[in-house]
Chain A
Amino acid sequence: MIKVLDFFDYARSESPWMVHFCSGCCSLEMAAAMGPRYDWERYGYLPTPTPRQADVIFITGLVSKKILPVLLRTYAQMAEPSYVVALGACAFDGGPYNDSMSVIKNVTEILPADVFIAGCPPRPEAIISGLEELKAKIKRGEPSSASQGGLWKEMKF
């Protein structure tokens, strides 16, 4: 029985599907990671059109005030267990838009990310290696960071 359960845990780590959500420039490099040269499907990643079937959501770069509720709503629509990957400098502290009046600087405080991929924008290789990190995290059996806390739980959206 233990072996069977192990298999399911392993399977869960090996097939992260991601929901389509883009809010910034990093989605361009995400598209490149899907493309022929980098092809992240080799590792088992697959984009899916609806959040209901997805395991991972990407914070693709900057999150403006206007799109924040959309991000949170999309995350909340995903079926458990669901993970968050933050992409690019903007997702960490606003990056090049740090001074901007309309960009949220602490997205990962609101919606904590499991993996942060650095770069502006991160290269496709970096995105893939970040996703491998996520796989390792799922293999270790750790719960997703967003389920453990974050300001989003207190927000109404």
Chain B
Amino acid sequence: MIEDFREYKKNWLVGKVESSELLEVVKKVKEEYRTLITISPTDFLERIELNYFFTDLESKKSLWLKTDISRENSKIESISHIFGGANWHEREAFSTFGVDFIGHPNLKHIIISSDFYGKAPFRKDFDIEAHQKEVEKHSLDIASNFEDEFSENSDTETTLNWGPTHPASGPLRLKVGVDGEEIKKVSADIGFVWRALENLIERKDFVGAITAVERICFMDNTNSMLCYAMAVEEIAGVKPTPFAEVFRVILGEVGRVSSHFMGIGGFFGTMGLHTLQMWAMDSREYFLDFLEDYSGARIATASIEAGGVRFPLNLETLNTLEKAIEYYESKRDEFHSIFLKNPMMKKRASQIGIISADEVHEFSMAGVVARASGVETDIRKDEPYSAYEKFDFKVVTKNGGSAKNRFEVIFEEIDESVKILKQAVSDIRSGVSEGTYNLEKDHLVKVPKKLPKGEAVSRVEWARGELMMHLVTEEKGKTPYRLKIKAPSFNHTMMVEKLLEGCTISDIPIVFGSMYICQGDLDR
């Protein structure tokens, strides 16, 4: 049933199926690949191509299925009853591309604001300028519908709007149906930070797209640039120098560490304790100092681009990093004894928000959340990119899958990242003294401005989990034709709805905080 079945890269298979046979194929696929990564539609003007990405977190094998549907009658069978994780991804494709998924249990618009309902804004023929002319009317409409939308109470149940201005929520709304303190039903309303990045990138050139890509989420912005750069390099057929690869690892790990610091702080913040937040922020500043020394900006670094890293490296910059590592290690034991072993935290967090390993596979959990449930998945090990193969580190896993376990995983991953950073710094130092690395010239390999026609999938281990990008280019294209971004918080927020049922109001912030969600990559 699968045509043109071939190997795409190591551990990756790609093939094409007829849209009518998709459901049968997917049922077979489920036996071998238990997780759906994402669904990525691409509009080719005469047809819409749907790309299904599957993976198996245990065997580390992945599959890429393509299927074509017509533009006018864009209908296809829903696979959300086979893969639970497909639910929101199908809703996203429905909202942005107008693809109708037959048999989807709850095919409502998601992410997009109400003026785009039914208009498929990401299709190539969508007239943005005409739409933007009426922006005033649209925002007035949204504003006047606002009140009705926020007051939904029935006789037996009160609806609490947890967010979007709640002190712990960030720009996201959980509609929580409560009976007293008990939660009856939760449904998430997202899209408050929707910037339509996937569409925005189509109007930027390959270098300019970096500014958009790094703004997916500022907590860890280096790894998202790395993911994009890898996709462009694959199509251009360029390989960065060994020095650039090692330095990308350094930048990526610094991004991860600074994100994890916010993560552990945020977790304790949800329980009304801000001390860890402050202490973590204190250590985080030193890592940001390094980014600032290197790129000139604290968080908006724009430091990784296709072909390598943007700036040559001054060896003294590494001293800043070493100072940051030293500072953190001098504080580490305090963190450990006061917060990781905190009895109150254990009492509150060890029984709630439990995700089993099966649910991890079923609902496409990634990164920290998956590892806390005992699933050993880490793209850095599974599909090594950059120079991660060179370095020795272990994948932190915990069994139990509770909110507490997730906190512990984040905490211990900081140590692993610091371990990688130390190795990478000494690698660069020894490379320079041996003369293999030239810091002045090696940092960037030239990538042509126009890329050939092609398609690439790149995955990196982001701070919050797997980040995947699907890049499509046209012949002699100056801009990306289509960039699909799959970010982990999307699935994690979907999971929050399930986790909270049957809990009490007190559990909302802590479960939400432990899922390590960033609204930036939730909405994109």
Contacts and interface: CB of A to CB of B under 8 A. Distances in A.
Contacts of A21: 165
A62 B195 CA distance: 9
Interface centre among B114, B121, B299 (most CB of A within 10 A): B299
Contacts of A22: 170-171
Most buried by B among A23, A28, A31, A120: A28
B518 to A, nearest CB: 10
A108 B138 CA distance: 18
A64 B192 contact: yes
Given A36-B282, A68-B143, 15 more contacts: A25-B218, A27-B170, A28-B262, A35-B277, A62-B195, A64-B191, A64-B192, A70-B146, A72-B143, A96-B211, A97-B200, A97-B212, A121-B299, A121-B300, A156-B143
A3 interface: no
Contact of B195 (A32, A97, A121): A97
Contact of A64 (B113, B147, B281, B288): B113
B427 interface: no
A74 B165 contact: yes
Given A24-B193, A100-B195, A100-B196, A157 B164 contact: no
B449 to A, nearest CB: 20
Interface string A14-46: 000001111111011101100111000000000
Interface string A113-128: 0000000110100000
Contacts of A72: 143
Which of A73, A97, A102, A157 has the most B CB atoms < 10 Å from its CB? A102
Contacts of B336: none
A28 B193 CA distance: 14
Given A25-B520, A32-B281, A121-B218, A67 B146 contact: no
Contact of A70 (B116, B165, B203): B165
Kindly state the interface size class of chain A when it binds its partner.
Answer: 35 or more
Given A155-B143, A156-B144, A101 B196 contact: yes
28 contacts: A20-B165, A20-B167, A22-B170, A25-B215, A27-B170, A32-B281, A36-B278, A36-B282, A62-B195, A64-B113, A64-B194, A64-B195, A65-B139, A66-B113, A66-B191, A68-B139, A70-B146, A73-B146, A97-B215, A101-B121, A101-B196, A102-B112, A102-B113, A102-B195, A103-B196, A104-B135, A120-B300, A156-B143
A104 B388 CA distance: 41
B193 A49 contact: no
Contacts of A123: 298
Contacts of A66: 113-114, 142, 191-192, 194
Contacts of B284: 35
A101 B143 CA distance: 17
Interface in A57-88: 62, 64-70, 72-74
Given A25-B215, A99-B200, A102-B113, A69 B195 contact: no
